[in-house]
A and B are shown apart, each in its own frame.
Chain A
Amino acid sequence: MSNLGANPAASEGGGPDPRQAGPSPWDDAVLAAVLMTVDPVGTGGVCLRSLAGPVRDQWLTIMRDLQPEGSPLKRVPLHVTDGRLLGGLDLAATLNAGRPIAERGLLVEADGGVVELAMAERIAPGTAARLSMAFDSGEVVLERDGLAMRTPSNFAIVALDEGVGEDEGLLNALLDRLAFHLELTYVRVHEAIACDYEVEEIVAARARLPEVTITDDQVESLCGIALALGIPSLRASIFACAAARAHAALEERTEVTEADLAVAGRLVLAPRATQLPPMEPPDDEPPPPEPEEPQEPEENQSNEQQEPQELDDKILEATKAAIPAGLLAQLQMGKLQRSRARASGKAGAVQNAPSRGRPAGVLRGEPRHGQRMNVVETLRAAAPWQRLRREERARVGRESSRIEVRQDDFRITRFKHKSETTTIFVVDASGSSALHRLAEAKGAVELLLADCYVRRDKVALVAFRGKAAEVLLPPTRSLVRAKRSLAGLPGGGGTPLASGIDLGMMLADSVQRRGGTPVLIVMTDGRANVARDGTGGRARAGEEATAAARVVRSLEITSLVIDTSPRPQQQGKDLAAEMGAVYLPLPHADATSLNQAVRATSR
C-alpha cells in the first residue's frame, strides 16, 4: 500500500479528499514544529500520526534542524527499560566493575530538548504514566535501586503514532498532554517541501516569548471556541493560549492578534473537536464538512443556551475549516468503523509484558524490560563456580568480591499473566424477530457486564441488519458506556451475515493483537440473504458467510453459534461447523441462559 508518491491515502478506500482550502496540512505541520520549538514547555509537544515514510521523515528532519544548537534530541524506543528512561543502576556494569555504576536516564538527558517516542501507539501504559509524571512535574523522580534522586527536566515530546484505524493510537492520557495532533497520512510526498523558518528566528522568538501578552477577550474567545467544539479537557484551551503566544513571538510581536488566535484554533483546537459549533454558518460561507449528519437534538439545545454571544467568528471559521472531513461521522458511527481498512500482517505481534501476573518458573536471562531477577536462583547458578572464578580473578590481579556473579548466572522470574477475555456478541438484528432477539442479547450483555468488573473481562456488541454490520458497543467493561450504546438498538431488514461475521472477527483480531483472548458469540438463524456489497441473493450471501466462517476457524478464535430460529435447522449447524464453533440451538434464548452458555464457552 505504500506506493511511491501516493502515501497511504489508498487505505481509505477512495474516500473524498479530506484536505481543505486554506493553509495546507503540511504547512500547518511545519508550523506546529516551529511553535513547539518556540515554547516546548507550554505546548508539550506533537503527536504525529502517520506511517513511516518519506513525508514523516521530512517532517522529522525539519523538526530536528529547527532545534537551537545544543538542545538534545533523544529517541525513546518502544521497549525502553525504566533504567534507561529514568536512570538507575546498571546491574551488569556494576557487577563487572565491582562498584555501583549509574545509568543516566533518557528523560534527564533530554532536558531542554525533545523526546521522540517511536511507535507511540504501542507504548506500555506504565511507560506512558512515567512520561506524564515527568511532564507534569517538570522533574524526573528516581526512586529505585536504592538511589533517590530528583532531577529537573523540561522537554517536549514528539510521539510518532503509527496507528492505523481508530482502535489504534496514542494513549489518551499522553495525547491530552500534547498541544498539537498532526495527521500526515494524506500529505503527498511532493507537498512535503523544506520549511522557511530559520533557527535564528526561533531563538529570537524564545527570547521574546515572556513579554508576549494575551488579553482577557482573546482568552475568552479561545475558551469559547473550545466549548463550542465540545472539547472537555481544559488542557486544550491552555495549549491554545500557549500556541497563540508562541506564534505572536514568532511573528515578532509582543501582543497576541487575531491571526495568532486563528493559528491556535486551527492547530490545537480543530483536531480535538467532537462536535460542530451549534451556530448557523453565514450563507455565503461554504457549508461545514458533513452538515447532513444529524446531531443529538438535546445536546444542540443545551449548547445553544450556553453558547457565548461574542464568539470570534473569524477564528471559529478558521478552526472549523481545519476539522478533518468525516471526523464527526466517524465519531458518530463509533470508533471502530475505520478498522475495516486496516492493513493485515501485524498479527500476533503483541505479547503482554512478562513482568506481571503470578510467578511461573525461572528463566535464564537478563533483568531487562523491567523483569525481575530471581536472586536465589541466580546465586544458586553462580555457586558452583565461585572457587574457579576467584582463582581466575586472582590470576589477573584483581580483587574479588565476596560473591562472583557473572552475567550468565542471571535468572529471571517468569510470570504468567492471565490474559483478559473479551466476549464479542455478533447479533442478527434482521427480520421480524429482531427486536426480541436484540433485547435478549442486550440483557445478556448487561448481565455479563454486571459481573465483568469482578472478573475484569470486556464485552463488545456487533449487530448486522439491512445492508451492513456495525459495532454498537466497542470492547468495554464500563457499564456507563454500555448502557448508553445499547439504549437505541435498531432492528429489521435483510441478513448480511457475512458482514456481521467479518466485523466480529476484525474486533476479535484486534483483541488478539493486544494480547487478549476473544470469544465470538454469533446469534443468528444462519439464513443469510444479503451479500457483503449490500446486494440481495441467498446463494451468494450464503457462500460468503461460509467463507467468513472459515476465516474465523483459521484464526482459531473460540466461538459459539447460537441458533435462534424457532425450529433449529441445518444452516445454523453448518455455519457452526465451518467456524469450528460450538453449536447451541436456543430457540427461546433468554438473557440468563445465554449468559450461562457464554460463560461456559469462555472457560
Chain B
Amino acid sequence: MPIPFPFSAVVAQEEMKRSLLIAAIDPSIGGVLVFGDRGTGKSTAIRGLAALLPKMQAVDCTYNCDPDAGDEALCAECREKRAKGMTLKGRKVQVPVVDLPLGATEDRVIGALDLERALTKGEKAFEPGLLARAHRGFLYIDEVNLLEDHLVDSLLDVAASGENLVEREGLSVRHPARFVLVGSGNPEEGELRPQLQDRFGLSVEVTTPTDLPTRMKVVRLRDEFERDRAAFVQKWKSKDGKVRRLIEKGRALLPEVKVPDKTLEQAGKLCIKLGTDGLRGELTLIRAARGLAALKGDKEVTVDHLKEIATSALRHRLRRDPLDESGSTSRVERAVQELFGE
C-alpha cells in the first residue's frame, strides 16, 4: 500500500492542522471545512492525519461497528448478534478515510440494491455505499462547493442524524453513519450552500505561503519524500507519534474538561454580537474550545481558548451581506477584539 505523506511534516497551515486535530479528538464537532488555493496541502494533511490516528477496535462487519458501543450505534447484524447473547469481537483497524468524488451517483453514496446478486441469484441484498464505509472515520470531499445538490441533500440528512436511512428499490435499510466530514474547495470557483456550510463545525481558510523560506521547506520535504518514501516516513515517525499521543491524551482528557459559566457567558456574548443564526454557532464554539483545551492539556476552558478558536468556529456562520466588503474573518476578529481586548 502506498505511504501517505506524514502529517507532522506538513509545513505551516497551523489553523488547518489544529482544526483537524480538534476534530480527531472530538468527532462530534461536525467536521472541518477547508477553503483556499490549490496546492496548499489540504488533501495531504487529511490523508496524513488518518494514517497516524490510533487504530480503532472494530467488529468484522460491513460498517466497522464499535464492539463496545451501545445497541443504538450498531448495525442490524451486530445488534442481532448481541441480542443472541454473542459477544462482539473487535479487531484493530485503521481509521477509514473515504473520498467522495464529484460526480458520484447517489446510489454509490448512500448505497443501493446489489445488482449482481439480484440478477444472478434473485436475492435482495443491500450494497453499502460510501457513507457506510466512512462510518467512524473521515469522509473527505474535495471541491465540496461543486458538489451536486441532490448529493448535498442526502449528506446533510445523514450528517445531522448520524444514520443513513435507505428506502428505495424495495429495500429498507438503516445503518449507522457517523463520520467527520472534511470538505475542501476554492471559493473562487463557487459558493457553498449556507445549509451545508453551517453543518461544518470548523471552517479554515488556507492561503498559499508567500514567504520564500516556507515555500522552500515545502518543496524540499516533498522532494525528499518522493525520492524515498519509506525512509522519509521513518524519519518523521517519532514526530507523528507525538501527534498521535497528543490526540490520545486529548481524547482521554476531553470528558473531564470543564466549561465554567463565565466562559459560557462570554461565548454567548460573542455570538450575539456577531448575530449568528441559531444556537449551532454557540454550541460549536464551546465544543471547539473544549476540544482545544483537551488538545493543550488544560482542564478548564478559558476565554483564551475561545479567542483562539472563535474565527474557525464562527466565520462561516455570519449572515451574508453581498454589499459588505470586509471578509467574515475580519468581522469575527474585530468582534473578539472589541469584546475581550488584547
Residues of A within 8 A of B (CB): 41-42, 89, 91, 94-95, 98, 100, 124-130, 132-133, 136-139, 141, 143-146, 150, 152, 172-173, 176, 210, 214, 216, 219-220, 222-224, 226-227, 232-238, 241-242, 245, 306, 308, 353, 355-358, 367, 370, 372-376, 378-379, 401-403, 405, 446-447, 449-450, 452-454, 456, 476-481, 483
Give chain A residues whose Cβ lies under 8 Å from the Cβ of B146: 125
> Hey, what's the 0/1 contact readout for B216-259 against A, CB within 8 Å counting as 1?
10111011001110000000000000000000000000000000
B167 close to chain A: CB less than 8 A: no
Contact A220:B216 (CB < 8 A) given known A143-B133, A306-B211 = yes
Bound-complex Cα distance A481 to B308 (A): 29
B4 close to chain A: CB less than 8 A: yes
13 contacts between A and B (CB under 8 A): A91-B119, A95-B119, A146-B116, A176-B39, A227-B215, A234-B209, A235-B39, A356-B103, A373-B115, A376-B169, A379-B118, A403-B122, A450-B322
Pick the 6 closest A-B CB pairs, nearest first: A126-B103, A233-B39, A129-B101, A138-B2, A453-B191, A235-B39
**Contact count A vs B, C-beta below 8 Å:** 188
B150 contacts which of A356, A372, A403 (Cβ < 8 Å)?
A: A356
Name the segment of B21-29, B71-79, B106-114, B272-280 touching the other chain.
Answer: B106-114
Bound-complex Cα distance A476 to B190 (A): 7
CB distance from B188 to the nearest CB of A (A): 5
Among B1, B189, B215, find the residue whose CB has the most chain A CB atoms closer than 10 A. B215
Contact A454:B193 (CB < 8 A) given known A223-B216, A376-B170 = yes
Q: Are A478 and B187 in contact (CB under 8 A)?
A: yes
Name the segment of B40-48, B174-182, B310-318 touching the other chain.
Answer: B40-48
Give chain B residues whose Cβ lies under 8 Å from the Cβ of A481: 188
Give chain B residues whose Cβ lies under 8 Å from the Cβ of A238: 218-219, 222-223
B84 close to chain A: CB less than 8 A: no
Contact A479:B226 (CB < 8 A) given known A125-B102, A453-B192 = no
CB distance from A426 to the nearest CB of B (A): 21
Q: Are B210 and A306 in contact (CB under 8 A)?
A: yes
Give chain B residues whose Cβ lies under 8 Å from the Cβ of A138: 2
Which of chain A's residues has its CB closest to B108's CB?
A144
B83 close to chain A: CB less than 8 A: no
Bound-complex Cα distance A407 to B67 (A): 44
Q: Are A375 and B119 in contact (CB under 8 A)?
A: yes
Contact A479:B210 (CB < 8 A) given known A176-B39, A237-B215 = no
CB distance from B87 to the nearest CB of A (A): 26
Bound-complex Cα distance A446 to B218 (A): 39
Give chain B residues whose Cβ lies under 8 Å from the Cβ of A483: 322, 325
Name 5 extra pairs, CB < 8 A, besides A100-B116, A216-B220, A478-B187: A137-B47, A173-B143, A236-B39, A403-B120, A478-B190
Among A42, A223, A308, A450, find the residue whose CB has the most chain B CB atoms closer than 10 A. A223
B105 contacts which of A237, A356, A403, A477 (Cβ < 8 Å)?
A: A356
Give chain B residues whose Cβ lies under 8 Å from the Cβ of A210: 227-228
Q: Are A357 and B150 in contact (CB under 8 A)?
A: yes
Give chain A residues whose Cβ lies under 8 Å from the Cβ of B169: 374-376
Q: Are B210 and A235 in contact (CB under 8 A)?
A: no
Contact A447:B322 (CB < 8 A) given known A91-B115, A372-B105 = yes
Which of chain B's residues has its CB closest to A99's CB?
B120
B86 close to chain A: CB less than 8 A: no
Within 8 A of A (CB), among B73-106: 99, 101-106
Q: Are B38 and A233 in contact (CB under 8 A)?
A: yes
Q: Are A477 and B190 in contact (CB under 8 A)?
A: yes
Bound-complex Cα distance A132 to B320 (A): 33
Q: Are B39 and A126 in contact (CB under 8 A)?
A: no
CB distance from B187 to the nearest CB of A (A): 5
CB distance from B196 to the nearest CB of A (A): 10
Contact A480:B218 (CB < 8 A) given known A125-B102, A173-B143, A233-B208 = no
Give chain A residues whose Cβ lies under 8 Å from the Cβ of B192: 453
Which of chain B's residues has its CB closest to A238's CB?
B222
Q: Are A405 and B223 in contact (CB under 8 A)?
A: no
CB distance from B125 to the nearest CB of A (A): 9
Give chain B residues whose Cβ lies under 8 Å from the Cβ of A355: 105
Give chain B residues whose Cβ lies under 8 Å from the Cβ of A476: 190
CB distance from B333 to the nearest CB of A (A): 18
Q: Are A234 and B218 in contact (CB under 8 A)?
A: yes
